[in-house]
Amino acid sequence: MAYYENVGKVAYEGSQSQNPFAFKFYNADEVVMGKKMSEHLKFAMAYWHTLTAEGSDPFGATTAVRPWHSYSGIDLAKARVEAGFEFMDKMGLEYFCFHDIDITPEGSSLKEFFANIDTIVDLIESNMKSSGKKLLWNTANMFTNPRFVHGAASTCNADVYAHAAAQIKKGLEVGKRLGGENYVFWGGREGYMSLLNTDMKLEQDNIARMFHMAVDYAKEIGFDAQFLIEPKPKEPTKHQYDFDAATTISFLQKYDLAKHFKLNLEANHATLAGHTFEHELRVARINGMLGSLDANQGDMLLGWDTDEFPVNVYDATLTLYEVLQNDGLGKGGINFDAKVRRDSFEADDLFLAHIAGMDTYAKGLKVAAKLIEDRAFEKVIEERYSSFSEGIGADVVAGKTTLASLAEYAMNNETPRANKSGRQEHLQSILNQYIYG
């Protein structure tokens, strides 16, 4: 049966199309910098926002009208699988991502939960085989169940720590079975609310121990997915330990985990941390840690994680600029960790929102590719730092200088070469020319 009867396969019709159910910029087979758009943009459906969450917020109940509402329990979980694969097929999404609790009810015990997971994973696996859709990543939700009130790997309760380990173990087994290309750790409640009751060192040491156990188990079962950590600065805890890219990278380096992990970066988490998304991508990229993206955006007038669909072409351009400079995302992709607004409650809105997001990223990709092909900013940056490619600057870069040798140089060159303007506003207008031109 069809769950989305109003909508057929979404096709590319070009920027002049008036058809709401058509792509204006995303043309899967169009070649950009030697690769198809669909290879640059490995878009993934977020199971939780698309199929599981239905628009509740702290002030009101669910509003979404969904075609699976006549089902309940495990039948509802099965209907969501079928609807999800129909949605991916119609949208041209090749990948999906899920938390364990997105796909099935937890039941009353871990044993029942894992049995439910097996039932639904059977169905997901057969749909993957018939459709060719792939798992970008899965993860364990270790923040919704009340047992995780004090965190999971950072909990003060060793029995809860063991429960978290059991969910991760199961998640890795599911990932291996479904051929997941990545496995994500998001520190749901891995942080603290008050230092007055918190042993920060023990909590961070325990998180690292959990990661090492996960690395070991993946190796043991032959699961070769890329491990990813998703930084977020706050919410739900006041201070999350994986605050941002730089904090997370230093954590991984301290605990000898850096070689096993990369980062799954989210736009809304970046802005919550007081950074732009492109800042987070740049930090990860220059450290060889850029793994995958959660494509969304926040509302700058609100202070929380609103997970809106990305519709800002300026931001998308600078995001794709970093991705292209990184020569792509490797095993990673672009997951829409984005939900339709509570008042966009019709099933059709799921399609319209994904079209908006995919078109925004497609336009951003094309502009970023042109910027790179023309070396629009690279030429400027090379010139700006050119004093480090010759003379005393080249000696600094080669590690040939000491404080004493630099001091001697400075004393003999009392009038340094003149500084030049950074030309920021001019560069911003060039970026606008590329976007609007």
Catalytic (active-site) positions: 99, 102
Least distance to Mn ion from the beta carbon of 53, Å?
Answer: 12
How far is CA 347 from its chain centroid?
Answer: 24
Tell me if residue 185 falls in helix, strand or coil: strand
* CA pair distance 136, 148, nearest whole angstrom: 26
Asked if 294 and 230 touch (Cβ cutoff 8 Å), the reply is yes
- Of the pair 155, 240, the CB lying nearest Mn ion is at 240
Residue 55 corresponds to which amino acid? Answer: G
Shortest approach of Mn ion to residue 136 CB, angstroms?
16
Residue 6 CB, nearest approach to Mn ion (Å): 29
HEC assignment per residue over 120-169: HHHHHHHHHHHHCCEEEEEECCCCCCHHHHHCCCCCCCHHHHHHHHHHHH
To the nearest 10 degrees (0 to 180), the angle between helices 200-221 and 158-177 is: 30
Select from 73-81, 88-96, 119-127, 306-314 the region that touches Mn ion (CB under 5 A): 306-314
User: What burial class does residue 418 get, using C-beta atoms within 10 Å of its C-beta: 0-12 exposed, 13-18 middle, 19+ buried?
Assistant: exposed
| Nearest CA among 268, 265, 276, 361 for reference residue 40 | 361
> Is 294 annotated as contributing to ligand binding?
yes
Instruction: Give the gyration radius of the chain's Cα atoms.
Output: 24
How do beta strands 43-46 and 334-336 pair? parallel
Count of residues engaged in binding Mn ion, rule: CB under 5 A: 3
Q: Which residue among 94, 203, 305, 322 contacts Mn ion (CB under 5 A)?
A: 305
The reply, when asked if residue 307 is annotated as ligand binding, is: yes
* 245 to 284: interface string for Mn ion, x by CB under 5 A: -----------------------x----------------
* C-alpha torsion angle, residues 325, 329, 335, 341 (rounded to 10): -10
206/268 with CB nearer Mn ion: 268
Pick the closer one to Mn ion by CB: 138 or 268: 268
The answer to whether 163 is annotated as binding is no
Q: Return the number of the residue (278 or 305) whose C-beta is nearest Mn ion.
A: 305
Rule CB under 5 A: which of 3-32 touch Mn ion? none
Instruction: Please list the residues that pair with 263 across neighbouring strands.
Output: 229, 290
Choose between 114 and 186: whose C-beta lies nearer to Mn ion.
186
By C-alpha distance, which of 14, 2, 4 is closest to 359?
A: 14
Q: Is residue 297 within the footprint of Mn ion (CB under 5 A)?
A: no
Closest residue to Mn ion, based on beta-carbon distance: 305
Residue 307 interacting with Mn ion (CB under 5 A): yes
The answer to whether 184 touches 337, Cβ cutoff 8 Å, is no
Sign of torsion over alpha carbons 36, 279, 315, 258: positive
Q: With respect to Mn ion, which residue has the nearer C-beta, 78 or 99?
A: 99
Q: Which residue has the tokens 């700058």?
A: 300
Which one, 100 or 305, has the nearer CB to Mn ion? 305
Please give the Cα distance from 178 to 47 (Å, whole number): 15
- Within 8 A by CB and 6+ apart from 384, the residues are 420, 422
Ranges within 328-367 binding Mn ion (CB under 5 A): none
Q: How far is the CB of 299 from Mn ion (least distance, A)?
A: 12
User: Distance between CA 348 and CA 66 in Å, rounded?
Assistant: 10
CA gap 257, 208 in Å, rounded? 8
| Helical ranges in 196-235 per DSSP H | 200-221
Q: How far is the CB of 268 from Mn ion (least distance, A)?
A: 4
> Measured from the CB of residue 306, what is the shortest distance to Mn ion in angstroms?
8
Residue 4 or 148 having the CB closest to Mn ion: 148
Single out the segment in contact with Mn ion by CB under 5 A; choices: 138-146, 301-309, 361-369, 421-429: 301-309
- Residue 235 beta carbon to Mn ion: minimum distance, rounded to whole angstroms: 8
Minimum CB separation of residue 270 from Mn ion in Å reads: 10
**Residue 89 annotated as lining a ligand binding site:** no
426 labelled as ligand-binding? no
Annotated binding site for Mg(2+): 230, 266, 269, 294, 305, 307, 337
Residues within the interface to Mn ion (CB under 5 A)? 268, 305, 307
